[in-house]
Amino acid sequence: MCMMYMYNISIWCGHTKQFRDFRSIYILRTTMPTLSLPKMRVPSQHTFTIPPEFQALIASYTGCVFLHYLAANVYPWLCTPVTWTGLIMSPLYAPMPHCRALAWAVYHGNDAIGHMWLGVGGWLMLWIGRRVWVRGV
């Protein structure tokens, strides 16, 4: 049974009572037979890839959703705590810059997500309409 010491860069093998350095182990490992893996296939014509234009749209949609979610969850925590003191201090917290910014992010994030869904729905209807019109179904 071999043991590896943290401070010595060597391995002590108990049955041989000698130290072996990592170079000999590396040489031993490189001379051992290896398992050969099958070669990767070339993707077929039917592989679905997202065009770069849609990648940017997906990234912006994901960013809007993330910012809206973050702002919607941080606003109650910072600006309207659920305590009696929070109820009394809420009129003082509401006009503060960080609360205004979070409220703006929630409101406009909601609008942006709604407009994105309208755009996706319009594009999908156009795509379906073109498929039906071309095939004449």
User: What is the model's pLDDT at position 51?
Assistant: 77
Whole-number Cα distances in Å, 112 to 11, 103, 115, 118, 123: 61, 14, 5, 10, 16
Query: How many other CB atoms are found less than 10 A from the CB of residue 36?
Result: 6
Contacts of residue 89, defined as CB under 8 A and 6 or more positions apart, other chains included, come to 81
* Tens digits of pLDDT across the chain (137 residues): 444 444 444 444 544 444 455 555 555 455 555 566 666 666 666 667 777 777 888 888 899 999 999 999 999 988 888 889 888 988 888 899 999 999 999 999 999 999 989 988 998 899 888 888 776 65
User: What is the model's pLDDT at position 25?
Assistant: 52
Q: DSSP per residue over 81-125, as a string?
A: -SSHHHHHHHHHHTTSHHHHHHHHHHHHHHHHHHHHHHHHHHHHH
User: What is the model's pLDDT at position 55?
Assistant: 85
Place of tokens 């039917």: 46
Closest CA to 106 of 50, 63, 65: 65
Task: Enter the tokens of residue 3.
Answer: 């043991």
User: What is the model's pLDDT at position 58?
Assistant: 86
User: What is the model's pLDDT at position 98?
Assistant: 92
Cα distance between residue 96 and residue 88, in whole Å? 15
**Are 99 and 93 within 8 A, CB to CB?**
yes
User: What is the model's pLDDT at position 5?
Assistant: 44
DSSP symbol at 41: P
User: What is the model's pLDDT at position 94?
Assistant: 86
